[in-house]
Every structure is written in structure tokens, then in C-alpha cells.
Amino acid sequence: MKSNSIKVIAPATVSNVGPGFDIMGFAINTPVEEMTVRISDKPGIRILKISGDKSGLPFDIKKNTAAVAVTKMLASLKLKIGVEIEIRKMIISGSGLGSSAASAVAAPVALNELLDRPFTKQELMEFALEGEKVASGSIHADNVAPCLFGGFILIRGYKPMDIIPLSYPKKLFCTVLHPQFAIKTSDARKLIRKNYPLKEVVAQAGNAGGLIAGLLKSDYDLIRRSMNDLIAEPARAKLIPGFYKIKEAALNAGAVGCSISGSGPAVFAFCTSENDAEKIGRVMKKISSEFVKKNMIYISNINSTGPRVIG
């Protein structure tokens, strides 16, 4: 153990990615989650401070995603040590940008560094997923995996977990509109129907495959044609005031595709340059402001690194 304290940032993530419900996600550069973890002489896990987002995140270690992930990690190591956690929450809870996943990733990554990396990133996934489960009510990796590994990720399967990094165009940029209100992941998941007609399932699979092929081939037209979600978007659009007008404005401004990030209310749009991303952001914000008073815009290319130690 080289130090008893470390500070880590973990990136926000866009999940589902159009037709990729529960199987695709990618990391972005901003916003980020900042977490300080230290080893203490006093046994047990304690959350000392939560700052930033004021949504009332729990200090209870059985309900906090970061603490649950660390608890599982220490149990696996059979270590009974003291761990203190300070969270600076810069990814707003309920934003659709992987806030809970970032906490669930940042804490075990930080502790892993302090303990001289007893676990690989693949092994850390299991602890992060247990933390994410506390927030979402189920295990799904489309935020956790891109947050932990960076880049654009396909979740091929869960039993066993099969995570596939995807190549993507280096000029691919993302505009994220975040209307300033929250949607609970657990509530949004309840809107998804349990059964779908075969023709919709086939169409969704074709779009998901087309999106992957478009990314691998840097074929923006194929990406555009494939960004059609028949499962999550129609169910969740009603939760986001003016969603279809926002989407139409983004596409008219040159977006390669536009859809809901995770459970929403964040909406993301692909494009091919930072200038286009900024222009698309302006029009998305203008339309959203007709329905929601406060809106944030984030501009980013794909974050390829995942979490980083910053102190």
C-alpha cells in the first residue's frame, strides 16, 4: 500500500444508445464523478461527506452504491479494514447519465489502487454491478461497463458476463441535453413492456446490428438509419417534455442520430465535429427551454479511458 488516500474521477455514460436497450453504452468526458477513498485505522466502511448533487443520497452503507461495491470487494478479499469515502456528486442523480454507476465504479477502482490492484477491471465489474443494483433494482451493465472500461461497449450477455469493446469513428461527437429534473431508473424500467411482436423484435435486432456495423465501418449514414429504437424510446418519451420536438430539431441541425440516454431525461445526439455538436446543443436547449426552465448541455467525444486517478 503506497498511500492511505486517493482521489478518482469516473465518467458519465450514455446507455441504451438508440436500439441498444440494456446492451450498449459509451463513456463521455463530462460530467464526472469525483470520489476520495482512504484507509482508516477504525474498522468499518463510512461515508464521511457527500457534496455537489443535493438529491439526498444515502449515507447508509447498505443503500449507497459506492459503499455497497466496496463492501462486496472487502468481503471477497476477506479484509476487515476501515474505509472512509467522500463523494463529490457532479453527475446528477436521475439524469440518465449513469450517476449511480459512476459511484459504483469509482469507489472500488479507488480502493483497488490503494490495495495495489488485487483485482483486474473485469473482476471489479462484479462489485460495481452489485452497487448499481441498489440504485436500479436490477443488474445491468450498460452504464457500469463503459464507465469502468471507457469507450463504446456492447454487453453480449450476462450469464456469463460478456463485454465487447467496439471500435468507433474517432470523429464521433456527442451532444447531451440534460433538462434539470430527475427520473428514477426503477420507475422508467416499469414502463417497458414485457412482450413485443416478433416483427418489432426483428426490426430492433436489425437496427442494433446496423448501429454496430456503422460504428465499426465509420459509416455515418448507416448509424443514422440504425438509430431507431422500438422498445425504450416510445415508452419513455412521455417522461421528457417536448422530446420529439427536441429530437426533430437535433436531426434538422445535422445530428447523425438522437435518442434518450438511459432512463432520461437526458437526450443525446451524435454528430461528426465539435462545431456541429455545439450547434446541435444550442437548438436542443432552445426547444427544451420551451418546456423545462433549466437545461444543461454537455459536449464530448467518446471517453476512451474510463476512471482516472487525480490525487
pLDDT, tens digit, 9 for 90 and up, residues 209-244: 999 999 999 999 999 999 999 999 999 999 999 999
Q: CATH classification of 173-301, choosing from 3.30.70.890, 3.40.50.1260, 3.30.1330.20, 1.20.1560.10?
A: 3.30.70.890
pLDDT, tens digit, 9 for 90 and up, residues 249-303: 999 999 999 999 999 999 999 999 999 999 999 999 999 999 999 999 999 999 9
Domains 5-166+304-309 and 173-301 share a fold: no
Instruction: Give me the DSSP letters along 103-138.
Output: HHHHHHHHHHHHTT--S-HHHHHHHHHHHHHHHHSS
3-class secondary structure, 296: strand
Question: Average pLDDT per run of 10 along the chain, which is 311 residues long?
Answer: 85 97 96 96 93 82 95 94 95 94 97 96 95 81 97 93 95 97 88 94 97 98 97 96 98 98 97 98 98 97 96 85
- Give domain limits for the chain: 5-166+304-309, 173-301
Cα of first residue to Cα of last residue in the chain, in angstroms, is 15
Q: How far is CA 300 from CA 43, 58, 129, 244, in A?
A: 41, 30, 25, 22
Residue 1 corresponds to which cell in the numbers above? 500500500
Q: Are 67 and 85 in contact (CB under 8 A)?
A: yes
Task: Report the CATH number of the 5-166+304-309 domain.
Answer: 3.30.230.10
Q: Are 164 and 31 in contact (CB under 8 A)?
A: no
In the block, residue with C-alpha cell 430539431: 249
| Residues annotated catalytic, as ranges | 132, 185
Q: Are 239 and 183 in contact (CB under 8 A)?
A: yes
pTM, rounded to two decimals: 0.95
